Amino acid sequence: MSQSLNDLIQSSQVPVFVDFWADWCGPCKIVAPAVKQLAQEFTGRMIVVKVNVDQHPAAAAQFQVQGIPALMLFDKGKLAWRTAGALPYQQLKAEVLKVLAG
């Protein structure tokens, strides 16, 4: 998973939004609808990927995930933005729009 995720980040023509989460994580469940809404709103302009840290610990380690949910936005293969914890949809959207505008 970590290699294919890295390949996607490096080769994508559009920004890649990654949500590192786990089933047992309360804040992950809180932010999930906002992440889904981003995926729907930015279809074709951004790729949204959800990575379960319990199933893919190597990916979490590779991207230095310390706490979840860990949200990262990559543009042209580089990390453009990251945060840990649940943020409201409007705040997530604002970060996405900054990257898309750049």
28 is catalytic: yes
DSSP states along 23-84: TT-HHHHHHHHHHHHHHHHTTTT-EEEEEETTT-HHHHHHTT--SSSEEEEEETTEEEEEEE
Local structure of residue 2 (DSSP, 8 states):
H
25 is catalytic: yes
> Among 9, 16, 18, 25, which one carries the catalytic annotation?
25
> Among 16, 28, 49, 70, which one carries the catalytic annotation?
28
The catalytic residue positions are: 25, 28
